[in-house]
């Protein structure tokens, strides 16, 4: 469904990705684990068009997305929940969700998806008229995911959904990620520092180190791989 | 008492003009985080467009009711300036989008000078008379209180324009995109917002409001020249800072306050012991005071990033 072929990208004179190739099969959860600065977020930014791809290709459902602009890439059905959540803090929860459906015109569909999001994240329903900036970190993450779902994407990219969130809410959020993956058949590409959690919910995983793919395997195999255990699982 | 009321009417109609210009500064700041110093000169172009178009239309529209003639001139001037604003952004600012803010700021000063001197070349340096769009008459209700019908019209039409702007920003899809873009450009792009479209739209609306301000200003003071945008532009910038740069209600209130204060200082110059010649200094004294005591302005929020 989503494929990267030898993608190189970077910031200024620094090359952050050195020819990254990966595949995300339809309906699966694939995770990208690695240390801080390994290039995980950079990979997502290159896919969603926030960062130019210098070499290589990004393919989504057979179409080439390489260096299209972010708004064109979202329109193709590929949503990106960025690191740090980036909710619109001065807009209400409801307006944030409306922004998620920005490119859609089907009012009935938007309304039913909004209902689905509020059903999935009941905490948001209690706060629909609140300014999003007043939500807790975990609630903001739920809002960021809900907002992305409002665009009815076919593939969802999540960047560090557990970052800075109370452990109890992390559990809830990961349950929801698995739930939408199953119920909507939504393909998920998950970037996560908490490798333990990420390998738990995913079917396939890539290990990224200093801008290169070091390992790729089924998640259950990666979990038992001694090198992965030593470096990322703290075993 | 009557004199105070009189000054308030004068001050509010001047403040309405400042508010209309200030909105353009604040809206552009909201989406691009830079001060478009050429905005005051777009205001000037608005006045000249109104003058030329008004003169051309007058004989053709001899049979039209006055309000129709005046609103046609107003709309044509607003539309022309909207196009001018959009074109300026595309040509001068868009190529610098990824550059440091300072580069864009200096470019804006360059665009400002370009418009002023091009204006001098095309329109001539001497002040020109602005055609009267509405026959002026005096409305005097209470004894000693005189408001011209033009002042009243300016206030009413400004109120309508502000209300329209409020609807556009709060109720439309593009308005929502504009607010989202000003809060978090990256997230707005990830939602599918085409930033170029929203930025053009913002420049268009801001410039149209400045043109409306220019038509009102020219109708109130009758004389226009290529440098007429400099001081009102600077003062409207102060008004935007006073209200809290980036805040729409702030720009409106800031403009009105500035107009009223400036008028009161002139009107009561003897009482206050400030020579009326200092009227233009008032805005800048206010600017210094805000920057010293409340840099975020009346409606501004101190930016605090929540991680």
Show the 3-state SS of chain B. Answer: CHHHHHHHHHHHHHHHHHHHHHHHHHHHHHHHCCCCCCHHHHHHHHHHHHHHHHHHHHHHCCCCCHHHHHHHHHHHHHHHHHHHHHHHHHHHHHHHCCCCHHHHHHHHHHHHHHHHHHHHHHHCCCCEECCCCCCCCEECCCCCCCEEHHHHHHHHHHHHHHHHHHHHHHHCHHHHHHHHHHHCHHHHHHCCCCHHHHHHHHHHHHHHHHHHHHHHHHHHHCEECCCCCHHHHHHHHHHHHHHCCCCHHHHHHHHHHHHHHHHHHHHCHHHHCCCHHHHHHHHHHHHHHHHHHCCCCCCCCCCCCCC
Length of chain B: 307
Number of domains in chain B: 1
In a domain, B140, yes or no: no
Residue A218 touches partner B, C-beta closer than 8 Å: no
A103/B192 touch (CB, cutoff 8 Å), yes or no: yes
**Confidence at B307, pLDDT banded by 50, 70, 90:** very low
**Mean pLDDT across the stretch B207-219?**
97
Q: Is B203 within 8 Å of B28 (Cβ atoms)?
A: yes
Please, which pLDDT band fits residue B304 given cuts at 50, 70 and 90?
Answer: very low
Give me the pLDDT at residue A152, please: 94
* pLDDT tens digit sequence for B42-92: 999 999 999 999 999 999 988 999 999 999 999 999 999 999 999 999 999
Q: What is the mean pLDDT of chain A?
A: 93
The count of structural domains within chain A is: 1
Using a CB–CB cutoff of 8 Å, tell me whether A22 touches chain B: no
Q: Do A164 and B307 touch (CB under 8 A)?
A: yes
Cβ A99–B180 below 8 Å, yes or no? Answer: yes
The string of pLDDT tens digits covering residues A28-70 is 999 999 888 889 999 999 999 999 999 999 999 999 999 999 9
Tell whether B103 is covered by a domain.
Answer: yes
Query: Does A226 have pLDDT greater than 90?
Result: no
A136 to chain B: nearest residue by CA? B306
**Domain residue limits at A150:** 2-232
Please give the backbone phi and psi of residue A216, each rounded to the nearest 5 degrees, phi first.
Answer: -150, 135
DSSP assignment, residue A132?
A: G
Q: What is the mean pLDDT of residues A82-98?
A: 94
Mutation pick from A68, A69, A86, A95 vs chain B, by most beta carbons of B within 10 Å, is: A86
Q: Give the pLDDT mean for A176-188.
A: 94
Residue B304 in domain: no
The residue of chain A with its CA nearest to that of B192 is A71
Residue B146: predicted pLDDT = 77
Hey, are the CB atoms on B183 and A74 less than 8 Å from each other?
Answer: no
Q: Kindly state whether residue B139 falls inside one of the protein's structural domains.
A: no
Distance from CA of B192 to the nearest CA of A (A): 4
pLDDT category of residue B302 using cuts at 50, 70 and 90: low
Strand order from edge to edge, sheet including A212-218: A78-81, A155-159, A187-192, A29-34, A204-209, A212-218
Give tens-digit pLDDT for B86-136: 999 999 999 999 899 899 999 999 999 999 999 999 999 999 999 988 888
Q: Does B186 touch chain A (CB under 8 A)?
A: yes
For the stretch B164-200, pLDDT in tens is: 999 999 999 999 999 999 999 999 999 999 999 999 9
Q: Does B172 touch chain A (CB under 8 A)?
A: no
**B170–A contact, CB cutoff 8 A:** no
In a domain, B137, yes or no: no
Residue B2 C-alpha, separation from nearest chain A C-alpha, in angstroms: 43
Q: Which two tokens stand for residue B78?
A: 């607003």
| B243 lies in some domain | yes
The CATH number covering residue B29 comes to: 1.10.3470
First to last CA, chain A: 33
Compute and round to an integer the Cα radius of gyration of chain B.
Answer: 19
Q: Who wins on pLDDT, B144 or B173?
A: B173
**pLDDT tier for residue B300 given thresholds of 50, 70 and 90:** confident
Could you tell me if residue B299 is inside a domain? no
pLDDT digits (tens, 9 = 90+) for A191-219: 998 888 999 999 999 999 999 999 999 99
Would residue B109 count as lying in a domain? Answer: yes
Residue B2 has pLDDT above 80, yes or no: no
Q: Find the CATH number of the domain harbouring A96.
A: 3.40.50.300
Range of the domain at B106: 2-130+145-293
């Amino acid at each position: 469904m989503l494929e990267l072929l030898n993608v190189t990208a970077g910031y200024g004179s620094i090359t952050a990705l050195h020819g990254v190739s990966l595949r995300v099969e339809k309906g699966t959860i694939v995770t990208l684990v690695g240390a801080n600065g390994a290039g995980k977020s950079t990979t997502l930014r290159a896919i969603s068009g926030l960062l130019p791809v210098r070499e290589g290709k990004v393919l989504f459902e057979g179409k080439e997305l390489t260096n299209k602009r972010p708004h064109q890439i979202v329109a193709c059905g590929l949503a990106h929940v960025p690191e740090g959540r980036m909710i619109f803090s001065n807009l209400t929860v409801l307006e944030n969700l409306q922004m998620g459906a920005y490119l859609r015109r089907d009012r009935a569909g938007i309304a039913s998806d909004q209902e689905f999001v509020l059903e999935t994240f009941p905490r948001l329903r209690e706060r629909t008229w609140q300014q999003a900036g007043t939500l807790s970190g975990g609630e903001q993450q739920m809002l960021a995911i809900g907002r992305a779902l409002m665009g009815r994407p076919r593939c969802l990219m999540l960047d560090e959904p557990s970052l800075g969130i109370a452990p109890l809410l992390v559990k809830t959020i990961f349950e929801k990620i698995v739930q939408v993956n199953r119920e909507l058949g939504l393909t998920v590409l998950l970037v996560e520092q908490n490798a333990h959690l990420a390998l738990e919910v995913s079917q396939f995983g890539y290990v990224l180190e200093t801008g290169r793919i070091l390992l790729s395997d089924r998640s259950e195999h990666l979990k038992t791989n001694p090198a992965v255990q030593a470096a990322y699982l703290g075993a | 008492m009557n004199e105070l009321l009189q000054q308030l009417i004068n001050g509010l109609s001047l403040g309405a003009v400042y508010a209309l210009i200030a909105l353009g500064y604040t809206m552009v700041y909201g989406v691009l985080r830079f001060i478009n110093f050429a905005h005051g000169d777009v205001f000037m172009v608005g006045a000249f467009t109104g003058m030329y178009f008004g003169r051309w239309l007058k004989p053709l529209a001899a049979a039209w009711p006055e309000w129709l003639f005046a609103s046609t001139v107003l709309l044509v001037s607003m539309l022309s300036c909207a196009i001018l604003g959009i074109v300026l952004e595309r040509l001068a600012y868009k190529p610098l989008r990824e550059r440091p803010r300072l580069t864009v700021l200096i470019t804006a000063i360059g665009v400002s000078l370009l418009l002023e001197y091009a204006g001098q070349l095309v329109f001539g340096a001497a002040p020109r008379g602005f055609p009267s769009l509405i026959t002026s008459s005096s409305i005097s209700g209470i004894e000693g209180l005189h408001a011209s019908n033009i002042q009243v019209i300016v206030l009413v039409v400004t109120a309508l324009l502000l209300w329209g702007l409020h609807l556009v920003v709060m109720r439309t899809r593009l308005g929502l995109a504009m607010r989202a873009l000003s809060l978090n450009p990256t997230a707005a792009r990830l939602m599918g917002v085409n930033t170029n479209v929203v930025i053009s739209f913002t420049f268009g609306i801001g410039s149209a409001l400045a043109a409306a301000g220019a038509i009102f200003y020219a109708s109130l003071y009758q004389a226009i020249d290529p440098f007429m945008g400099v001081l009102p532009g600077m003062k409207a910038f102060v008004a935007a800072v006073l209200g809290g740069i980036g805040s729409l209600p702030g720009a409106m209130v800031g403009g009105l306050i500035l107009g009223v204060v400036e008028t009161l200082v002139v009107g009561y110059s003897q009482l206050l012991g400030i020579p009326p010649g200092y009227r233009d200094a008032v805005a800048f004294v206010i600017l210094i005071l805000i920057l010293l005591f409340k840099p975020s302005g009346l409606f501004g929020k101190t930016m605090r990033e929540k991680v």
